[in-house]
Amino acid sequence: MKFKQDFFEQLQGFYSQVAPLPLSNPHWLGWSQDAAALIGVDKPDDHLLQQLSGNAQHPQACYYAQVYSGHQFGGYTPRLGDGRSIILGEAQGPTGSWDLALKGGGPTPYSRHGDGRAVMRSAVREFLVSEALASLHVPTTRALAVIGSDLPVWRESQETAAITVRLAKSHIRFGHFEYFCYSEKGAKDKLTQLVNFTLTQHYPYLSQDAAGYKAWFYEVVKASAKMIAHWQSVGFAHGVMNTDNMSILGDSFDFGPFAFLDTFKENFICNHSDPEGRYAFGEQPSVGLWNLQRLAQALTPLIPSDDLIAALNTYQSELVGHYLHLMRGKLGLSEFNFNSDKLTQAAKTEQDKQDLQLIGRFTGLLESEQLDYTNSLRQFAYLDPSSVHSRLRDDMRQRDNFDSWYQDYQFRVGALVELEAWQQARAVENPKYILRNYLAQEAIIAIEDEGDTSKLEQLHVLLQRPFDEQPEHEALAKRPPDWANGLIMSCSS
Ligand code: AMP
Ligand code: MG
């Protein structure tokens, strides 16, 4: 592993140097070879284990925790920072530069009353979800590994500490800009420095002047909208969309009590600590905008308000446009007409509106029928739209409602030239396997009770190919058993 230290060398005053605290009796719980390949690492050997558990130093690493602030559940916290994540630098690999961080690596100057540790269950969940989202083509940070230990930590009860080794194209969050706008004297210099650094590293084609800053904010709006469109399309609820958990690159980031929908429910809340449902599944698109507005506010020293507002005004159409694109792929609503010059803008807008309605009526049916989101969408991979018979229909109790929707759907899809190719295309848009909470929970319990990592390994491998049939794992596509219904996570991790 080779490191560069651009953030560390160029942004002094944006972090505190801190060494990780050694984790006792470290052992690999999980390893992602896909993530390892990103940074050119071959295998999980003992030397690497010692380095990633804070027991040995990497000669090129600089250990630091970043400072930032953020809006948490609507209120501004002026100083947060990495309370338990220690960055080693930017690992250099065949796919470019990846920040490597030890989440749960020990206390930092930003730990406040926390112990700087992560419990095994939350480290395993972050590992699994990072890699599962990546395989679903959702923009996300990655996880190289999860490392267990025998170090006791205290939450509601005694648990053991673990580390998620996170890879991120950047750890810069909306909250970074908020911190350097509101907290520091001479803020504008630092804010400018941070924006310029972000541009140099991630938007090298943009100029570092007023025009470039403006263009950059449009890009941030677009990337965030796209990420959330992906979440809505795969049924992913992040759970803690505070501005300190929003990556500036629009990658899914900092996972806590997240969940994938089982039964489709618009106002599904996955976070036990969010009884009001601020971050409910259906709220994510509007929270995304609210967060971008907080970022825009922090950028007012650099970018004129009119430009910021104009960029924010593109959010909705970016999000809806991308959601529509993804959902059309899932339902098999062709897009080929849209490249035709013959279609006027007005006709496109009307088609968009009708398709959104068709999609909304479908998810409405799933909600009223309490059907599983993923499994219902997967049915499109087996559906023959020219036939009135389908598993989808069999699953419905109110068949009349379904039939009236289905007639409109059939009309929209029209005659298919190649049914098999159409179905195959649906199979690569609609995953068969997702990271259901109960599956993660079973893997965690096996580790807790028996030290057995085989379920975690099996789940991780399964979710690397979520669109493939994998008949030997058919059972893992099932909706949750009774014991796991209503399984809901808290922020405590
Ligand atoms: P999170 O909810 O994980 O995004 O964390 C919010 C803030 O609390 C971040 O600044 C974290 O670094 C910090 N934090 C969370 N858990 C701990 C912990 N166990 N020890 C120290 N800081 C923590
Ligand atoms: Mg966080």
Give how many domains the chain has, as a whole number: 2
Share of the chain above pLDDT 70, in %: 97
* Residue 183 lies inside a defined structural domain of this protein: no
Of 80, 119, 490, which is best to mutate to test ligand 1, by the most ligand atoms within 8 angstroms of its C-beta? 80
In a domain, 70, yes or no: yes
Contact 172, 6 (CB under 8 A): no
Nearest CA to ligand 1 atom 12: 83
In terms of Cα–Cα distance, which of 172, 157, 39 is closest to 97?
A: 39
Ligand 1 geometric centre to CA of 414 (Å): 52
pLDDT digits (tens, 9 = 90+) for 378-395: 999 999 999 999 999 999
Whole-angstrom Cα distance, residue 116 to residue 67?
A: 15
Per-residue pLDDT band at 186 (split at 50, 70, 90): low
pLDDT of 187 > 80? The answer is: no
Q: Where are the alpha helices (DSSP H) in 203-272?
A: 210-234
What is the per-residue DSSP string for 27-89?
Answer: EEEEE-HHHHHHTT-----HHHHHHHTTSS--TT---EEE---EEETTEEES----SSEEEEE
CA-closest residue to ligand 1 atom 6: 80
Residues shown for the chain: 493
Amino acid letter at 492? S
Report the atom number in ligand 1 closest to the C-alpha of 117.
Answer: 19
Beta carbons of 98 and 169 less than 8 angstroms apart: yes
Domain presence at residue 89: yes
Counting ligands in written order, the one closest to the CA of 18 is 1
At 203 the pLDDT is: 98
Q: How confident is the model at residue 377 (pLDDT cuts 50, 70, 90)?
A: very high
- 87, 100 Cβ separation under 8 angstroms: yes
Does residue 363 have a pLDDT over 70? yes
Q: Separation of 130 CA from ligand 1 center, angstroms?
A: 18
Residue 250 has a pLDDT of 98
pLDDT at 135: 98
Task: Kindly give the distance from the C-alpha atom of residue 147 to the centroid of ligand 2, in angstroms, as a whole number.
Answer: 20
Task: Say how many Å lie between the CA of residue 111 and the centre of ligand 1.
Answer: 7
Which ligand is closest in space to the CA of residue 155?
1
d(CA 236, CA 136): 11
Report pLDDT for 339.
60
Residue 36: predicted pLDDT: 98
CB environment 261-272: b (16+ within 10 A), e (fewer): bbbbbeebbbbe
Q: Is residue 78 assigned to a domain?
A: yes
Return the pLDDT at 224. Answer: 99
Indicate whether 440 belongs to any domain: no
The pLDDT tens digits of the residues spanning 414-430 come to 999 899 999 999 999 99
Strands 142-154 and 75-77: unpaired
Write out the residue range of the structural domain in which residue 18 sits: 2-172
Q: Which atom of ligand 1 is nearest to the CA of 85?
A: 12
pLDDT at position 341: 65
Q: Can you tell me the mean pLDDT for 482-486?
A: 79
Nearest ligand 1 atom to alpha carbon 72: 6
Which residues neighbour 296 within 8 Å (Cβ) at sequence distance 6 or greater? 217, 303, 308, 309, 311, 312
Ligand 2 centroid – CA 175 distance (Å): 10
Q: What residues are paired with 65 via a beta bridge? A: 16
Predicted confidence at residue 487, as pLDDT, reads 77
Residue 407 maps to a domain = yes
Q: Which of 85, 111, 120, 272 to mutate to test the pocket of ligand 1 (most atoms within 8 A of CB)?
A: 111
- As a whole number, the mean pLDDT across the chain is 96
Q: Is 209 a catalytic residue?
A: no
Strand partners, 165: 102, 145
Nearest ligand by distance to the CA of 72: 1
pLDDT at position 344: 84
**pLDDT value of residue 336:** 58
Residue 80, in any domain of the structure: yes
Nearest ligand for residue 21 CA: 1
Q: Which of 244, 254, 307, 372 is catalytic?
A: 244
The last residue of one of the domains, among 427, 452, 482, is 427
Q: What is the pLDDT of residue 343?
A: 75
User: Which ligand has the shortest distance to the CA of 66?
Assistant: 1
Probe target for ligand 1 pocket from 76, 84, 120, with the most ligand atoms within 8 Å of CB:
84
**Residue 118 alpha carbon, nearest atom of ligand 1:** 19
Nearest residue (by CA) to ligand 1, atom 15, is: 83
Q: Is the pLDDT of residue 338 over 70?
A: no
Q: Whose CA is nearest to atom 11 of ligand 1?
A: 83
The tens digit of pLDDT for each residue in 207-221 reads 999 999 999 999 999
Task: Decide if 228 contacts 281 (C-beta within 8 A).
Answer: no
Residue 464 CB-half CA count within 13 A: 13
Of the residues 18, 103, 110, which should be mutated to test ligand 1's pocket, given the most ligand atoms within 8 Å of the CB?
110
pTM above 0.95, yes or no: yes
DSSP 271: B
CB 23 within 8 A of CB 149: yes
Distance 83 CA to ligand 1 centre (A): 5
Q: What is the mean pLDDT of residues 460-480?
A: 97
Atom of ligand 1 nearest to the CA of 244: 4
Mean of pLDDT values over 80-103:
97
- Give the model's confidence band at 58: pLDDT under 50 very low, under 70 low, under 90 confident, else very high: very high
Is 315 a residue whose pLDDT tops 60? yes
C-alpha 84 – ligand 1 centre gap (Å): 6
pLDDT score recorded for residue 54? 97
Ligand 1 pocket (Cβ < 6 Å) reads 80-84, 110-111, 114-117, 240, 245, 254, 256, 491
pLDDT, position 335? 80
Last-in-domain residue among 381, 407, 427:
427
CA of 244 to the centre of ligand 2 (A): 6
Q: Report if residue 311 sits inside a domain.
A: no
What average pLDDT does the segment 260-275 reach? 96
- The last residue of one of the domains, among 377, 404, 427, is 427
Is 296 within 8 Å of 243 (Cβ atoms)? Answer: no
